[in-house]
Amino acid sequence: MRHWLSLAEHSPEELAGLVALARRLKRGDAAAAEAIPGRVLVMVFFNPSLRTRTSFEAAMLRYSGHAICLSVGGDLWKLEHRDGVVMDGDAAEHVREAVPVLCRYGDALAVRTFAQMKDAAEDAADPILRAFARYATVPVINLESAAEHPCQGLADWMTIDEKLGGTRGRRFTLTWAPQVKPLPMAVPHSAALAAAAAGMHVTIAHPPGYELNAAVLDRAASWCSAAGTKFAVTHDQRSACREADAVYVKSWGSAKLYGDEAAQRE
Amino acid sequence: MRHWLSLAEHSPEELAGLVALARRLKRGDAAAAEAIPGRVLVMVFFNPSLRTRTSFEAAMLRYSGHAICLSVGGDLWKLEHRDGVVMDGDAAEHVREAVPVLCRYGDALAVRTFAQMKDAAEDAADPILRAFARYATVPVINLESAAEHPCQGLADWMTIDEKLGGTRGRRFTLTWAPQVKPLPMAVPHSAALAAAAAGMHVTIAHPPGYELNAAVLDRAASWCSAAGTKFAVTHDQRSACREADAVYVKSWGSAKLYGDEAAQRE
Amino acid sequence: MRHWLSLAEHSPEELAGLVALARRLKRGDAAAAEAIPGRVLVMVFFNPSLRTRTSFEAAMLRYSGHAICLSVGGDLWKLEHRDGVVMDGDAAEHVREAVPVLCRYGDALAVRTFAQMKDAAEDAADPILRAFARYATVPVINLESAAEHPCQGLADWMTIDEKLGGTRGRRFTLTWAPQVKPLPMAVPHSAALAAAAAGMHVTIAHPPGYELNAAVLDRAASWCSAAGTKFAVTHDQRSACREADAVYVKSWGSAKLYGDEAAQRE
């Protein structure tokens, strides 16, 4: 079963193909949506969503498909995703029961599940999304998980491509910004990966202590290396922005302070 | 951009045209719904809804359109609508960001946002609905706001017209009724405006202290004047009901006690 | 008005006809869904749902119908269902007002409303579902109520039929199992009724104190008697399972401890 969980699991060529498909759709080539008519997308939300949910639902409807939207803890009871735990809490059902059932009703499953931000390694392992994928018998789509927001990454790629008239060889800077509360790393992870896959020079700039996930950085660096572009991580945000063709401003929490929101706010 | 926010912003002739359109639809003339097929209505709910939400969603579906329903604070995170405030609370996004995005996905936006009932002047200014309209690039439809419930007003007009075999020259009395808790003025505002626009003699009857919004009363009075019908506000509810062809019984809170629910209950 | 509230209200022949219809649909005979195209099903949820909600919504969509899903206390305000009570609490509307309105928008109404588990007689009387049926002008479908889960019962019948290659004369055992919290009796009630209607020998096995509803047991026993099959209730769960062709393992709370969750957990 082929899932859509992470940019890091696909090749830059595959990702470029998806952006090309999106361009065809945007130009009005409805044949590019040939997979959609009559299909049912079941969307499961562990967290709220505005752009992602509405754009997916509108896309399914406009191309003659259907979307069923389910909120965990609202429309649905709470779900357990860990294996081997005693389920005597408020999770009435395990993902291993729920997911195969939902796969009988839908042609694909889409899941939003934000980072818990208590343990950076656990968030990087994407436990809830991976549990869905493990038990699914239809493709699973990541609508932002603990580790990545791959659709956002492709949308960013497409936007930069439109604004700059191409991405290859352009200089992309992802720069950290302050926020009143610590935010997940899923979006900056996917932005960095998308920029690398798009053939841009990638600079990631942030204060000390705000390192992104090492495996994600390695993957982005290796894609840049293969494309012959530069990849750098720096604490000099000012220079990184000055020399960029595209600046991506985003806040994320410090993994060192995970689980300590009071310290993060300072 | 033409919005549907308030009866007071349209002419009685325009409103009569909408009621005539509704009559065609009710008679089964599907051509009257020519705007709907293939269109996506994005509905945003700051508050619950039974009739309005279900009737809009059913209408979109029955006429081959689509509806996407989003609850603020549930499906969506909370939204800030005020300009110039520091967003360090629980509103994760501003209406000025959210609304233009939703307008990219939908062909029209519909919003329900009840009165806060803390400040009568603020409710009359309809701050949330007006913020949506300000930032929208597609038509915004009022599904009941702080100040008005214009669709309810037209439905009341149509019902009275059906029951009495016409509205012109008939005597309409809107009379206040007690309730266990203070209710908003949106519905009585729209009922009074609809009755005036429909060419009825309008009497509004309530105890002292329960005055409706002055601008709404002025608009209703001026429409009655232009139509040659009588407009009156009275504290004599008994007489007002006795002399009416149609009595509209509705509760609303006293603007003088806004923000003081304990006093309202007494 | 014909409703779908309880297996007990239909004859075994009618129920067998519904299972036969489901088999036609499962074989891909879309003509079996001739009632669905263009129809709007309004689904009202007093409680969460995963399988039932998603399967109903997907079925409506796949057969060219529509589903509108409303959660009570979320999308909708709270609803009062009792007659003759003073509505000064948080229920903003009575079922007698809400249901006729929803019936104007939908072609059928579906309701999920779990047992309260405070009073076994009240749960058996299914007060909320029955209030919906009383005021409805379109068919009402039970998506699991306090007393029964009739669609689940038919699905169980169909599954056993598929697995055993027929149900007539087979031995069905419904056996109680422990759970961390007391669960409603709706599912075991419908399972027992479905097994009896399907022509199976029915044994219900549970510890003392876990008796199911007497009227349900009487109905199942009378169906077995008419079909010439055996019906038994026993405390010997081990033997009941050993001698069965199909074992249905389910937990439910003790009616004797209703309203006393602490005692139930022990």
Identify whether residues B159 and B261 lie together within a single domain: yes
Residue ranges of chain C whose CB lies within 8 Å of a chain A CB: 45, 48-51, 53-55, 57-58, 61-62, 69, 71, 74, 180
Task: Name the H helices within chain B.
Answer: 12-26, 51-62, 95-105, 120-125, 127-135, 150-164, 186-197, 214-227, 237-242, 261-265
The answer as to whether A118 is a domain residue is: yes
Residues of C in contact with A40 (CB under 8 A): 58, 61-62
Question: For residue C266, what pLDDT is reported?
Answer: 67
Residues β-bridged to residue C141: C4, C110
CA proximity to A157, closest of A16, A9, A13: A16
Query: Would the pLDDT of B140 be above 80?
Result: yes
Token pair for C153: 């019962």
Residues of B in contact with A49 (CB under 8 A): 75-76
Residues of A in contact with C51 (CB under 8 A): 101
The answer as to whether A147 is a domain residue is: no
The Cα angle at residue C6 between residues C5 and C9, in degrees rounded to 5:
110
Query: The CATH number of the domain where C170 resides is what?
Result: 3.40.50.1370
Identify whether residues B102 and B159 lie together within a single domain: no
Residues of B in contact with C66 (CB under 8 A): 58, 61-62
Residues of B in contact with A26 (CB under 8 A): none
* Concatenated DSSP letters of chain C: ---B--GGGS-HHHHHHHHHHHHHHHTT-GGGGTT-TT-EEEEEESS--SHHHHHHHHHHHHTT-EEEEEEBTTTB-EEE--TT----SSEEEEHHHHHHHHHHH-SEEEEE-----S-HHHHHH-HHHHHHHHH-SS-EEESS-SS--HHHHHHHHHHHHHHHT--TT-EEEEEE---SS---SHHHHHHHHHHHHTT-EEEEE--TT----HHHHHHHHHHHHHHT--EEEES-HHHHHHT-SEEEEE----GGGTT-HHHHH-
- The tens place of each residue's pLDDT in chain A, 266 residues long, gives 899 999 999 999 999 999 999 999 999 998 999 999 999 999 999 999 999 999 999 999 999 999 999 999 999 999 999 999 999 999 999 999 999 999 999 999 999 999 999 999 999 999 999 999 999 999 999 999 999 999 999 999 999 999 999 999 999 999 999 998 899 999 999 999 999 999 999 999 999 999 999 999 999 999 999 999 999 999 999 999 999 999 999 999 998 888 776 777 66
Which residue on chain A is closest to B73 by alpha carbon?
Answer: A48
Identify whether residues B195 and B98 lie together within a single domain: no
Q: Give dist(CA B108, CA B197) in Å, integer.
A: 26
Distance from the A57 Cα atom to the nearest Cα atom in chain C, whole angstroms: 14
The answer as to whether A89 is a domain residue is: yes
Three-state DSSP at B175 gives: strand
Residues of C in contact with A106 (CB under 8 A): 54, 58
CA proximity to C71, closest of B111, A69, B65: A69
Query: Would the pLDDT of B231 be above 70?
Result: yes
Identify whether residues A196 and A251 lie together within a single domain: yes
Q: Are the C-beta atoms of B8 and B36 separated by less than 8 Å? A: no
Identify whether residues C113 and C158 lie together within a single domain: no
Q: What is the mean pLDDT of residues C119-127?
A: 95
Residue C261, amino acid: E
Three-state DSSP at B3 gives: coil
Chain-centroid distance of CA A47 in Å reads 14
Do strands C171-176 and A140-142 pair parallel, antiparallel, or not at all (unpaired)? unpaired
The answer as to whether A15 is a domain residue is: no
The answer as to whether C160 is a domain residue is: yes
Q: Give dist(CA A132, CA A98) in Å, integer.
A: 9
Query: Would the pLDDT of B189 be above 70?
Result: yes
Q: Give dist(CA C210, CA C232) in Å, integer.
A: 15
Band of pLDDT at residue C258, cut at 50, 70 and 90: confident
What are A108-146's pLDDT values in tens digits?
A: 999 999 999 999 999 999 999 999 999 999 999 999 999
User: What is the total residue count of chain B?
Assistant: 266
Band of pLDDT at residue B76, cut at 50, 70 and 90: very high
Find the CB nearest B68 among A51, A58, A71: A58
Residues of A in contact with C69 (CB under 8 A): 75
Which residue on chain A is closest to C265 by alpha carbon?
Answer: A88
Contact check, Cβ <8 Å, C49/A101: no
Kindly state the percentage of chain B with pLDDT values over 70: 99
Structural domain total, chain C: 2
Identify whether residues C39 and C114 lie together within a single domain: yes
Band of pLDDT at residue C1, cut at 50, 70 and 90: confident
Q: Give dist(CA A198, CA A158) in Å, integer.
A: 9
Question: For residue B259, what pLDDT is reported?
Answer: 74
Q: What is the mean pLDDT of residues B67-83?
A: 96
What are C41-60's pLDDT values in tens digits?
A: 999 999 999 999 999 999 99
What are C177-189's pLDDT values in tens digits?
A: 999 889 999 999 9
The answer as to whether A12 is a domain residue is: no
Identify whether residues A191 and A258 lie together within a single domain: yes
Question: For residue A266, what pLDDT is reported?
Answer: 67
Query: Would the pLDDT of C128 be above 80?
Result: yes
Identify whether residues B161 and B261 lie together within a single domain: yes
Q: Are the C-beta atoms of B248 and B191 separated by less than 8 Å? A: yes
Element (H, E) at A220: helix A214-227
Distance from the A94 Cα atom to the nearest Cα atom in chain C, whole angstroms: 12
Of B125, B142, B159, the domain-final residue:
B142
Contact check, Cβ <8 Å, C50/A76: yes
The answer as to whether A3 is a domain residue is: no
Identify the residue among A75, A86, A102 best suited for mutation to test binding to C, counting C beta carbons within 10 A and taking the highest: A75
Which residue reads 């069965």 in tokens? C244
Identify whether residues B159 and B200 lie together within a single domain: yes
Instruction: Please state whether A253 falls in left (phi above 0), alpha (psi between -120 and 50) or beta.
Output: beta
Could you give the C-alpha distances from B24 to B17, B30, B158, in angstroms and in order? 11, 8, 12
Find the CB nearest B75 among A48, A58, A62: A48
Which residue on chain C is closest to B64 by alpha carbon?
Answer: C38
Chains that touch C (3 or more CB pairs under 8 A): A, B
Range of the domain at A120: 35-142
What are B108-122's pLDDT values in tens digits?
A: 999 999 999 999 999
Structure-model confidence comparison of residues B213 and B259, the more confident one: B213
Q: What is the mean pLDDT of residues C219-241?
A: 98
Average pLDDT, chain A: 96
Distance from the B166 Cα atom to the nearest Cα atom in chain C, whole angstroms: 23
**φ, ψ for residue C148 (rounded to 5)?**
-150, 160
Query: Would the pLDDT of C265 be above 80?
Result: no
Which residue on chain B is closest to A61 by alpha carbon?
Answer: B66
Of B91, B122, B142, the domain-final residue:
B142
Which residue on chain C is closest to B58 by alpha carbon?
Answer: C105
Average pLDDT, chain B: 96
* Concatenated DSSP letters of A187-214: HHHHHHHHHHHTT-EEEEE--TT----H
Identify whether residues C155 and C257 lie together within a single domain: yes
Residues of B in contact with A57 (CB under 8 A): 68
Find the CB nearest C50 among A40, A88, A93: A93
Provide Rg for chain C, Cα atoms. 19
Contact check, Cβ <8 Å, C70/B61: no
Which residue reads 């699914």 in tokens? A136
ipTM, two decimals, is 0.96
Residue B75: which residues within 8 A CB-CB, separation 6 or more? A45, A48, A49, A53, A69, A71, B69
The answer as to whether B120 is a domain residue is: yes
Identify whether residues A165 and A206 lie together within a single domain: yes
Contact check, Cβ <8 Å, B180/C88: yes
CA proximity to A51, closest of B220, C160, B105, C13: B105
Chains that touch B (3 or more CB pairs under 8 A): A, C
Identify whether residues B157 and B113 lie together within a single domain: no
**φ, ψ for residue A205 (rounded to 5)?**
-125, 130
Q: What is the mean pLDDT of residues B70-99?
A: 95
Token pair for B259: 């923000």
Contact check, Cβ <8 Å, B93/A58: no
The Cα angle at residue B212 between residues B206 and B216, in degrees rounded to 5:
135
Which residue on chain C is closest to A100 by alpha carbon?
Answer: C51
Contact check, Cβ <8 Å, A49/B87: no
CA proximity to C111, closest of C126, C89, C92: C126
Of C109, C142, C175, the domain-final residue:
C142
